[in-house]
Structure 1
Amino acid sequence: MRRFKRTLVAAAVTTTVMAGTAGWAVGGEQTAVTGPPAGTAAWRADHSLHRTLPDPATAAPREIARFFAGVPADEQRELAARHPLVVGNLDGAPVTLRYEANRRAITAERDRERARAADTSSTAPERRRAADLADRYTRLLEPGRQILAFDPRGRGQIAEVYGDLATAHRTAVVVPGSDIDLASFDRTHDQYGAPAGMARSLKAELARQAPGTPTAVIAWAGYTTPVGIGLDAATGRLAEAGAPRLERLLAGLAAPGTAAAPPAVFCHSYGSVVCGLAAPAIDGTEAADLVVLGSPGVRADSAAALRTGARVWATHRNSADWIGRIPNVRVLGLGHGADPTSASFGARPIPSDGAHGHSAYFAPGTRSLTHFAQITLGRYTAVH
């Protein structure tokens, strides 16, 4: 009975301590964006090419890849022009076509927000918000940016590629934790706690360690994350909604004509909960490695319990990482379970010397970043 009471107390602490990467703000319940992309109904009804288009809700990424392999390039571009939000978020579609479709979708959103910002019938706060969104979309349209996914619904979701996926011999995916959305995806403050900053840092380290090896890193903010402290961060509800989206991303990368090698997947903070729930669906062809860092738990008692074909790694927490104060419990739906860094969990350990705080594991010069690059490059014996 005493042990059960201690567990309940720990679970209560979890709800008050579990925070996002941006700080200690109280967070409200978020509505998860799920299901197929916006515009799917119009896509399903489109018979202009005299062929049935794959259903974004039910077609596997391999089926989508096979479909586009049989469609001439000019017809592919027609589909991207008519249905940019569908094609831009269609795992299995050619990545360059997705870049083109998302550029169209972002341009359309930017123009809509510019019109709202100029609408004098709106309130001043509404016009300011529209102007901020328009500026954000304008930055996404800068030359050289490769937007793999873009969804303006809710707080906004996005994925960006650094490098050339078509020619990359080694690839990686960064899955962020709480407080990440379209607005914070590539923030400049606390940049190594944001997916864009993590991905750019890893890409630079890969270039430093293996300058002759083509590599690519995907910053993936493709699920609705918790905001601040609250039940969202202490439960698996949003992770359960996000895991199938991560599974589809990885299945799309494994489809013919996309990435050349299965990626290493780096899962930060609450993102490790998403990765833990997605793990059983991930085999060695979809991800070579699952790496958790700053993790509150992965909703499994051991690495073996994840039932994944990928290697499982856990990054040692530094002493300044507040996530170490999160109780590793899972009771009444609260908490995320065993500590992945414990010896009993059975994950492969990664040192993190030089990292300081919850958001510094990708900071240049840290031992964790050095090892992340070595894992991505397949140099496993160098990680010790």
Structure 2
Amino acid sequence: MRRYKRTLVAVGLATAVVTGTAGWATGNGQRPVTGPPPGTAAWRADTSLGRALPDPASAAPHDIAAFFRALTPAQRHGLARRHPSVVGNLDGAPVSLRYEANARTVRQDPRWAHLAGRQILAFDPRGRGQVAEVYGDLGRSRHVAVVVPGSDIDAGTYDRPSDPYGTPAGMAGQLRAATGGRTAVIAWAGYTTPVGVGLDAAAGDLAEAGAARLTRFTDGLAAAGAPAPAVFCHSYGSVVCGLAAPRLKAKDLVVFGSPGMRAENVADLRTTARVWAAKDASDWISKVPHTRFLGLGHGPDPAAPAFGARRVPAAGAHGHTGYFAPGTDSLRSFAAIAEGTLTDGTPGEGSGR
């Protein structure tokens, strides 16, 4: 009975202090954006090529890639003009064509003017908006990284000049700079994140929906010919990555400021990727109980030696969003992981605590 009571208290605290960047705020329940992109009905009805177009809801990214390879340039650009919201979100479609299509979409609504002229690989205006932006040359870079954010991130907040290291855009820019521009980095705000602190952040529903979207996104990168990425997962984003891990096409899985990955240890993730973890002692995520009960909480701390992840030093990474700050051990290590030069880490090494 005493253990049961302790567990209830821990879950209550986990519900009150959970994974995000908003701090001590009230949570608002979110409904995940799922399914094919806007405009799918018109795409399915398009017979201009004399045959059915691949169904965005069911066609695998490698089949979509093969479909576009068989088209002439005029046919590809024609589809992007007629169906920009579909082509721009179609995993497996040519990267440059997705940029073109998403540029058309964001120009149609003044709310998204800040995205014009940027390399937008995915954009979905439904809900709070989802976006993926590429920093660098995805087609030519030998190394690719993907940044997966935690709570309170959407198309309107993924890039905030006032928070240069705590948003996925800021993290992506810092990581690219730390690699000397040699790595293409994608800021992937491609799922519905929790808002504030509430049950959404303590539960796994949004993470499960996000994991499916992240898995398909990395399948699309592979289909487009990009190298397997190093995936960097912050806060609640590490829950997404943990659930996606068995199917995720990634060479490295790096979690930082993590509340847990819904796995007992590295082996439980069932991934061939190398798994890394970082947590600074000043990060308030340390106050989150690493437990699971009745669907709440996200399990053991990935930065604990018993989890079995390769440890990333985090000296100087102050707070929950300081891991990509210039001059930190964590950023230097992240850059080396992205470039494949940090290969000799062993489970339990490199604690920054």
Q: State the TM-score, normalizing by the size of structure 1.
A: 0.88
> In structure 1, how many angstroms separate the alpha carbons of the residues matched to 2:234 and 2:6?
28
The aligned residue for residue 124 of structure 2 is 151
Aligned pairs for 1:40-51 within 5 A: 40-51=40-51
The aligned residue for residue 36 of structure 1 is 36
1:291 corresponds to 2:254: yes
User: Which structure 1 residue ranges, 5 or more long, are not aligned?
Assistant: 111-132
1:371 corresponds to 2:337: no
The aligned residue for residue 274 of structure 1 is 240
The aligned residue for residue 115 of structure 1 is none
Corresponding residue to 2:323 among 361, 366, 370: 361
Please tell me the residue identity of whatever aligns with 1:28.
Answer: N
1:302 corresponds to 2:265: yes
The aligned residue for residue 116 of structure 1 is none
1:68–1:93 CA contact under 8 A, matched in 2 = yes
Aligned pairs for 1:72-83 within 5 A: 72-83=72-83
The aligned residue for residue 167 of structure 1 is 140
> In structure 1, how many angstroms separate the alpha carbons of the residues matched to 2:99 and 2:344?
35
Q: Deviations over 1:53-100 (max 9, x none)?
A: 111100111110011010111100000001100000000000000000
> In structure 2, how many angstroms separate the alpha carbons of the residues matched to 1:103 and 1:273?
31
1:95–1:258 CA contact under 8 A, matched in 2 = no
Please tell me the residue identity of whatever aligns with 1:193.
Answer: G
Per-residue deviation at 1:182? 1.2
1:220 corresponds to 2:188: yes
C-alpha root-mean-square deviation of aligned residues, in Å?
1.1
Aligned pairs for 1:111-122 within 5 A: none
Q: Deviations over 1:287-324 (max 9, x none)?
A: 10000000000000001100011111111x21221100
2:19–2:150 CA contact under 8 A, matched in 1 = no
Q: Deviations over 1:164-186 (max 9, x none)?
A: 11101011000000000111110
Q: Deviations over 1:115-168 (max 9, x none)?
A: xxxxxxxxxxxxxxxxxx2xxx222113xx100001111000000000011101
The aligned residue for residue 100 of structure 1 is 100
Corresponding residue to 1:313 among 258, 261, 276: 276
1:185 corresponds to 2:150: no
Please tell me the residue identity of whatever aligns with 2:14.
Answer: T
Q: Which runs of 4+ in 1 moved over 3 A?
A: 381-384
Q: Deviations over 1:219-240 (max 9, x none)?
A: 0000000011100000001001
Please tell me the residue identity of whatever aligns with 1:356.
Answer: H
Per-residue deviation at 1:382? 6.3
> In structure 2, how many angstroms separate the alpha carbons of the residues matched to 1:366 and 1:215?
19
1:139 corresponds to 2:114: yes
Per-residue deviation at 1:19? 4.7
> In structure 2, how many angstroms separate the alpha carbons of the residues matched to 1:359 and 1:150?
25
1:244 corresponds to 2:212: yes
Sequence identity percentage: 64
> In structure 2, how many angstroms separate the alpha carbons of the residues matched to 1:181 and 1:270?
13
2:19–2:235 CA contact under 8 A, matched in 1 = no
Corresponding residue to 2:198 among 219, 230, 243: 230
The aligned residue for residue 194 of structure 1 is 167
The aligned residue for residue 228 of structure 2 is 262
2:19–2:236 CA contact under 8 A, matched in 1 = no
Distance 1:189 1:290, change over 3 A: same
> In structure 1, how many angstroms separate the alpha carbons of the residues matched to 2:325 and 2:165?
6
Q: Deviations over 1:180-212 (max 9, x none)?
A: 0111110112221100000000000001xxx6x
Q: State the TM-score, normalizing by the size of structure 2.
A: 0.96
- What secondary structure sits across from 1:21 in the alignment? coil
Q: Deviations over 1:218-262 (max 9, x none)?
A: 00000000011100000001001111000011001111x431x21
Aligned residues: 346
Per-residue deviation at 1:17? 1.1
> In structure 2, how many angstroms separate the alpha carbons of the residues matched to 1:28 and 1:193?
21
- What secondary structure sits across from 1:372 in the alignment? helix
> In structure 2, how many angstroms separate the alpha carbons of the residues matched to 1:59 and 1:169?
27
> In structure 2, how many angstroms separate the alpha carbons of the residues matched to 1:223 and 1:262?
20
1:322–1:357 CA contact under 8 A, matched in 2 = yes
User: Which structure 2 residue ranges, 5 or more long, are not aligned?
Assistant: none
